[in-house]
Amino acid sequence: MGGPMADHVFLAGFDLVVFNRTPEKSEKYREKGLAVAQSLEAIGEECDQVFLCVRATEDVEECVRALARTARSGTLIVDHSTILPEAAEKLHGELKKRSLRFVDAPITGGSMGAVKGALTVFCGGEPEAIEDAKPVMSAYAKRVERVGGPGAGQLMKAANQIAVAGSLLALCEALAFAEKAGLELAQTRDLLSGGAAGSWAFENYGPKIVAGDWSPGFTVDNQIKDLEYCEQAARAAKAWVPGTELVHKLLREMRSEGEGARTTAALFEKLKRAGG
């Protein structure tokens, strides 16, 4: 996700310094003539605004605390990762004590949205900080919106992932049924995606299912991580999310069967197998 986003920022004309914890992933940016930092501490020293996109809560905490060691007063850190809402709220409080600013800004739209510069960003934090970050975020997002205070961006992302889980199950269940019932798979996907059953999942994952392409995309392992966060957030809100719990269970079974690195759309195959 971060690579295509950085490309859009560069093409928009912003001064850009890049860093990746896997150094070889930064080399293509060095070849383009961009500055490549050797460490997060170096990023903190040099940049007024820092945009993170890493995997999980513990990764964000590690990165933010490294940046905070060297960042100047007023530096703005925007986190596009999907993490626990309470972790985002805690990081905001820790950084505020150091006169640093933090926005939790998880994204939706998938890797395809990142490539197209058409992501949606859910922002939690202080309005002024979000407004300061908007010009950069607008380089890779079609919509950037404040949804509340610290942690609210992550709560909105949890709501988003709850909907994503339901859409994924609906897609895979419908197409697995159609194939088992003797319907033509490509035609079924085409007809259903144009009617009341249509969704982002039908448009983007439907073709992968028809092609039998289980390459990510978004992996089963990553979706499991996100749904764990969703269930924790639901417990905190005293909300019941039975559909999410079911999808989470099915994906964990896929991981135990060695399918964690596949796209989540591979749930289609599991449902076919389960149907005998």
- Give the pLDDT mean for 230-258: 98
Domains: count for the chain: 2
- Domain with residue 202: its CATH number is 1.10.1040.10
Neighbours of 199 (CB within 10 A): 19
Do 23 and 139 fall within a single domain? yes
pLDDT of residue 196: 97
Distance CA 49, CA 103 (A): 11
The proportion of the chain whose per-residue pLDDT surpasses 90, expressed as a percent, equals: 95
pLDDT digits (tens, 9 = 90+) for 47-86: 999 999 999 999 999 999 999 999 999 999 999 999 999 9
Max Cα-Cα span within the chain: 64
pLDDT at 180 over 80: yes
* ∠ Cα 175 109 178 (to 5°): 5
On whether both 99 and 177 belong to a single domain, the answer is: no
Tokens read off for 244 = 């999410």
Domain range enclosing 56: 2-149
Record the tokens describing residue 89, joined without a space: 């709220």
Q: How many helices and strands, by DSSP H and E, does the chain display?
A: 14, 8
Task: Assess whether 164 and 141 both reside in one domain.
Answer: no
pLDDT at 276 over 80: no
pTM: 0.96
Say what the pLDDT of residue 5 is.
Answer: 96
User: In the 8-state DSSP scheme, what is residue 272?
Assistant: H
Check whether residue 140 and residue 175 sit in a common domain.
no
CATH number at residue 18: 3.40.50.720
| Residue 225 confidence class, pLDDT cut points 50, 70, 90 | very high
Return d(Cα 158, Cα 207) in angstroms, integer.
Answer: 26
Token pair belonging to 65: 């605390």
Range 224-240 average pLDDT: 98
pLDDT 10s digits, 121-143: 999 999 999 999 999 999 999 99
Catalytic residues: 157
Instruction: State how far the alpha carbon of 236 is from the alpha carbons of 84, 155, 240, in Å.
Output: 11, 11, 10
32 with 57, same domain: the answer is: yes
**Domain check: are 176 and 235 in the same one?**
yes
Same domain? For 140 and 174 the reply is: no
Same domain, 98 and 144: yes
Structural domain ending residue among the three candidates 102, 123, 149 = 149
Note whether 29 and 90 are same-domain residues.
yes
The one-letter code for the residue type at 141 is A
Final residue before a domain boundary, out of 97, 128, 149: 149
Residues 144 and 159 occupy one common structural domain? no
Predicted confidence at residue 151, as pLDDT, reads 98
Same-domain pairing of 222 and 116: no
- Rounded to a whole number of angstroms, the CA Rg of the chain reads 20
Are 168 and 241 in a shared domain?
Answer: yes
pLDDT (average), residues 207-236:
97
Final residue of a structural domain among 93, 125, 149: 149
E strand residue ranges, the chain: 17-18, 35-36, 49-52, 76-79, 101-104, 107-108, 119-124, 141-148
How far, in Å, CA of 137 to CA of 135, rounded? Answer: 6
Residues 13-59 have pLDDT tens digits of 999 999 999 999 998 888 888 899 999 999 999 999 999 999 999 99
Rounded Cα distance between 87 and 65, Å, is: 13
